[in-house]
Amino acid sequence: MIEINLSILNQCYSRRLNWYPPVKNSEAAPRKISGIEEVLDQFDLIMLDSYGVLCRGVEAIDGAVEAIAMMRERGKAFCVVSNDTMTNQYVAAEKYAARGFDFANEEVVTSLDVTESWLATVENPERWGVIAPLPHPTDKLLEGMVRLNECNGAIPEQVDSILFMVGTGWTQDMQDNLLKSAEGRQFTMAVGNPDMGAPYFIDGQIHINATPGYFMDNLVEATDQRAVPMLFGKPGNTIFQTVAERHCVTDPSRVLMVGDTLYTDILGGNAMGFKTLLLECGVYMGTDIDQAIAEAGIAPDFIAPHL
């Protein structure tokens, strides 16, 4: 794994705004609330990020299980919307049950679901290199693609397109080989998980592992790639549209996107016309949230300490 810090994470996001939907902030300043129950009656559908909102690793965040139960009791529709490229909708319920949640498979949509839909349409897969460990739940759909993990990161000559899918197992040595073999070449790029980093906590201290969005950013920075990548996860709009269509959304202002990251959850939700709630119990835990909002230029409608 490759570790980065919060400053690098934010720098990577901010210099790739041309990859994302345009920033659309509310004219009103963010309103600070105690939790989602305070505003729940304003919305028909709640979209929820997973990490930093519901859980950290295999542990549910305090109060998250109870908040989901409260929303069920109030008859609110909700869906987990995650940039997870190791879990699809067929096994999601099992994963979240281990964390104490009672989600049905159809109450979760991941960027792996969106990526799988795209993979089914790919022609000439031999021209694609993919960053994903073996085995992977989508191995059948990845058949014919060059597994760059197996090439120690080096891109063969016949590959002119790269799918950045999963960071698990990807090393600094592999990334260095990726950059060396990409010199003087241009690639079509797609990314299953656009996140630049995945935070985790040890003794209350935040650590961040680089994820596929970072590997792609690093490639673009080092080799001057000109293509704008296809995004299958947040903040790209495809994953949000998938959920909105499933729930027959007609008024986006009646949808609330809840997340812990400004550049993915909040930017993406705002761009769709949803209202947004930023939680302080995820990637920005222990930091000045108002300063983070000012520096990013991306503002939620609401801020709360936890769900």
Residue 211: pLDDT band with limits 50, 70, 90: very high
Q: How many CA atoms lie within 13 A of 39 on its CB side?
A: 23
Scored b (16 or more CB within 10 A) or e, 225-261 reads beeebbbbbbbbebbbebbbeeeebeeeeebbbbbbb
**Per-residue pLDDT averaged across 264-287, rounded?**
96
Which CATH superfamily includes the segment(s) 20-110+234-304? HAD superfamily/HAD-like (3.40.50.1000)
Burial of 7 (0-12, 13-18, 19+ CB in 10 A): exposed
Supply the pLDDT for residue 58: 86
pTM: 0.95
State pLDDT tens for residues 34-91: 999 999 999 999 999 999 999 988 899 999 999 999 999 999 999 999 999 999 989 9
**Does residue 272 surpass a pLDDT of 80?**
yes
State pLDDT tens for residues 81-99: 999 999 998 999 999 999 9
State pLDDT tens for residues 106-121: 999 999 999 999 999 9
Beta strands (DSSP E) in 113-215 are 128-131, 146-147, 161-164, 188-191, 197-202, 205-210
| DSSP 8-state secondary structure symbol assigned to residue 224 | T
Chain mean pLDDT for the chain: 96
Residue 203: pLDDT band with limits 50, 70, 90: confident
115-231 fold? Rossmann fold (3.40.50)
| DSSP 8-state secondary structure symbol assigned to residue 92 | H
The Cα–Cα gap between 121 and 73 comes to: 40
Q: How many CA atoms lie within 13 A of 191 on its CB side?
A: 24
How much of the chain exceeds pLDDT 90, in percent? Answer: 93
The Cα–Cα gap between 171 and 1 comes to: 5
Beta strands (DSSP E) in 149-218 are 161-164, 188-191, 197-202, 205-210
CATH 3.40.50.1000 domain locations along the chain? 20-110+234-304, 115-231
Q: Quick one: tokens of 58?
A: 């295999």
**Per-residue pLDDT averaged across 151-170, rounded?**
97
